[in-house]
Amino acid sequence: MDLLINVGLPVSLAIIMLSLGIGLEIADFRRVLSRRYPFAIGALCQVVLLPVAAFITIKLFSLPPEIAVGFMLLSFCPGGVTSNILSKLAKADVALSVSLTAVISLLSILTVPVLAAWSIAHFMGEAGPDVSISGLAFAMFLITTLPVAIGVSLRHFATGLANRIDAPLSKLATVLFVLIVIAALAGNWQLFVDNLSIMGAGLISLNVALLLIGLGLARAANLSWSECKTISIETGIQNSTLGITLAALITSTDSGFSPLALPSAVYGITMYAVAIPFLAWFRNR
């Protein structure tokens, strides 16, 4: 189990982030400069409103400390490849979705370690594990930022190779995601069973609220309908694999997968059930 958590989990996330980078181009980052307003709305939703909504959800459902921290860790995670795929299925602004995913993913090495340390101190107090902000930032750089940078570089300098490995890498990333979720649930099965009802209700409520908040704010900002759909999806869909990995990086692996990973693992399943009705609505309007 230790080998799976210490080696398999970070490597799996690195492969998933490499898959994300392979699908990106330099233009996806430059686009931020030409579309500053819709990007700023999306970034505001992801970086500020998402954690605030998670904090309110925790208080409303009176979640236990470890589960509460897991909720917050999930809320700090940017959207991943999944949000880009769902944006395409929803006939949304895929270019905006990709730009948001790319930039927020890179910025997360600055925001996530600080916010994660605060969450543990706030909800768990002295019972929480010690968090090295610099150590967590460096680990995130190695398993998130660096693989994305390598993927973008491959797309730019070796386009043929990038095109050949893009589809197989995406399939491998999907398989790894499923295995990580299953392992996290199995490693905390009793805690999962004991808290399923309240945690499931909290996650689904948070997910629905975020999709609506993103959509509502984008509409209030007078963005186009395709941009509104993108902001909604980017706000409501998080990289749950990163949430599980963060939990493993923060806590000791002696007893298996951290309970802090449980909300992200459950969310990795429930987010599709929540997203499907929204996708149907977005496609038909």
**pLDDT, tens digit (0-9, with 9 covering 90-100), for 108-149:** 888 899 999 999 999 998 888 888 888 888 988 888 888 888
pLDDT per residue as tens digits for the range 174-200 = 787 777 777 777 777 777 777 778 888
Domains and CATH numbers, the chain: 2-284 (1.20.1530.20)
Distance in angstroms (rounded) separating the CA atoms of residues 200 and 217: 26
pLDDT at res. 118:
94
For the chain, what is the mean pLDDT?
Answer: 85
Q: Are 57 and 205 in contact (CB under 8 A)?
A: yes
pLDDT at res. 2:
56
pLDDT per residue as tens digits for the range 85-105 = 888 889 888 888 888 888 888
Looking at the predicted structure, is the pLDDT value of residue 284 above 90?
Answer: no
Query: Hey, is 139 helix, strand or coil?
Result: helix
Query: CA of 244: how far to CAs of 35, 122, 206, in Å?
Result: 32, 20, 18
Looking at the predicted structure, is the pLDDT value of residue 252 above 70?
Answer: no
Distance in angstroms (rounded) separating the CA atoms of residues 168 and 170: 5
Angle ∠(76,141,167) on CA atoms, nearest 5: 85
pLDDT per residue as tens digits for the range 25-59 = 877 777 777 788 999 999 999 999 999 999 999 99
Q: Report pTM.
A: 0.86
pLDDT per residue as tens digits for the range 209-223 = 999 999 999 999 999
Question: Which residue matches tokens 């975020």?
Answer: 210
Distance in angstroms (rounded) separating the CA atoms of residues 7 and 113: 20
- The residue among 53 and 4 whose pLDDT is bigger is 53
